[in-house]
Structure 1
């Protein structure tokens, strides 16, 4: 699966998350939704690991890092999203969740270890957020001033911390990304189980629509989503993985127009165009000056020089299974 296809699939799956959460909350508490979605996602990825003959990591240090990732990428933000969406709608949640790439950019600059930040990427990040804001028009939503909004912002920042941690301490260390994703959701299930006494023991109301929603949320919008997230972090870095969040409102608007026949006004259409341009800019790779100089030199040095320059350019990049 190419990087572009992974981003597209991840956007479709992740873009439906807020809808499934909203439906699941008709029968479950936020803690229960988090517990069930983590458990179902872990079960799916464990089955895929077994089918591929992959084993989970055994090192204690790796599991310690996975617990940190599970807390910031699953247990904490999932509960915060559930809490936040009790008082604000999914559209407001979407625009607040779009702060994740900006948090990731800030952490990447402070902590280092991210791909080099050049002007095109920075402008793309800012344009993506501006386009998202244009789609949702947060200035028209008074609910963005309440505790629910703060919970969603906290979840977005938590995602950014997790992505940077995963990129620095988990990917690229010889462990298959599928095994990492399965292990992280196992750890998240265990962490969430500890929170059951604080809101998870409420009786579940047997709502068929909510039950279907939580199953889809767990298997597809959690299990497959976090496997694809790991792959993108491994291949392109934490900030690029976070920029997928900018595509979520585009997915939401397109699905609403195609499936529900909702109108798309000029403001929303312009916002979608800005988002797409911004995401394209964040995926632009500027060549280092030394590489540019060597390539220019190779252009006058014959076929051997050109091949050598190409090998140097491709050298640092590898695909992880």
Structure 2
């Protein structure tokens, strides 16, 4: 029998799932007051700001040839997904967004195999397939048992593709950098974009006088500090201590948290959603056994 990952690795994976699973609920609350672009900008700015002191003292650790990779991590791993998820949730429920986010391991696998030439075991492929079927069940079947798909969900699909590419970048080109360095410096590089938008065309400061403004603002800041900054450090750590598939499989657990919070906030969960979540959990267990020498 192949060795499994240690309990500590699974504990970190579950903690990350709780944090990121709550992100969709926080985005939903942020959108009560702010536009999608404002939510994304506040999220990025708060995440970069809290890590700035740590990032500035680590800038010299980045080698010259790694700067394009760090910039790519900031753009593809943080900035673009932040905007895409906020845009998607203007028309997609938080629970369904969390379910769609589980596409990340599939894109991680495909990009790793076709671009980065990584090997894939049969067991990993089967586990991903089972989890993907569970994800499709959550995405394509609504609580009443009928087929339903919102076109705005394509923004989430694009974001998961970004995540898949970003995972492979970190694993292939930044193995010598710490998670705090990768996260802090990459966020610092995209901070000017968020600040320029907040100081320019956005109406964030004017909206802070509204009745739900500070609740929404606090939700998005929490999303940035905990759900982006601290969570990305933990995520990048998982990428380095395990495989890219193991780290990205946190997105199989995220729908469980996202749909639970959504149900508590009035979103209905039906039998098909429970079946989809069960398949996702089965897929996680199958896909995240340590690879064996037998490869295909």
Question: Which protein, 1 or 2, shows the higher relative CO under an 8 Å CA cutoff with sep ≥ 6?
Answer: 2
Aligned-partner Cα distance in 1 for 2:136–2:206: 36
**Which of 245, 251, 255 is matched with 2:251 structurally?**
245
**Residues in 1 aligned to 2:102 and 2:162: alpha-carbon distance in whole angstroms:** 12
- 1:285 aligned onto 2:285: no
Match of 1:319 in 2: none
1:6 to 2, 12, 20: 12
1:34-58 deviation per Cα after TM superposition (whole angstroms, max 9, x unaligned): 22212222233345x48xx963334
CA drift of 1:7 comes to 0.3
Alignment of 1:253-268 (within 5 A): 253-255=259-261, 265-268=270-273
Pairing 1:153–2:119 present: no
Distance 1:201 1:167, change over 3 A: farther
Return the alpha-carbon distance in structure 1 between the equivalents of residues 21 and 137 of structure 2: 17
The residue aligned with 2:274 is 269
Please state how far the C-alpha of 1:279 moved relative to its aligned partner: 0.5
2:214 to 208, 228, 248: 208
Structure 1, unmatched stretches of 5+, are 291-321
TM-score by length of 1: 0.77
Q: Give the number of the structure whose alpha-carbon radius of gyration is greater.
A: 1
Note the C-alpha offset of 1:208: 2.2
1:119 aligns with 2:122: yes
After TM superposition, give the deviation of residue 124 of structure 1 in Å: 0.7
Question: Per-residue displacement from partner, 1:181-207 (whole Å, max 9, x unpaired)?
Answer: 111111222343455699635655221
Q: How far 1:127 moved relative to its partner? A: 1.0
CA distance in 1: counterparts of 2:237 and 2:243, whole angstroms: 9
The 2-side partners of 1:263 and 1:185 are apart by 36
Q: Unaligned regions of 5+ residues in structure 2, if any? A: 1-6
User: What does 1:1-321 correspond to in 2, within 5 Å?
Assistant: 2-46=8-52, 49=54, 55-56=58-59, 57-112=61-116, 114=118, 116-138=119-141, 140=146, 142-144=148-150, 146=151, 148-170=152-174, 172-173=175-176, 175-193=177-195, 200=202, 204-206=206-208, 207-255=213-261, 265-288=270-293
Partners of 2:159 and 2:268 lie apart in 1 by: 30
Distance 1:286 1:158, change over 3 A: closer
TM-score by length of structure 2 reads: 0.83
Question: Which position in structure 1 is the counterpart of 2:3?
Answer: none
Post-superposition Cα deviations, 1:146-178, rounded to whole Å, max 9, x if no partner, equal 2x22222111111111111122112x12x2211
Aligned CA distance change for structure 1 residues 262 and 157 (closer, same or farther; 3 Å) = closer
CA distance in 2: counterparts of 1:169 and 1:138, whole angstroms: 39
Aligned residues: 281
CA contact (8 A) 2:256 2:277 kept: yes
User: How far off is 1:97 after superposition?
Assistant: 2.0
The alpha-carbon distance between structure 1 residues 119 and 62, as it changes in their structure 2 partners (threshold 3 A), is same
Cα separation, 2, equivalents of 1:270 and 1:134? 8
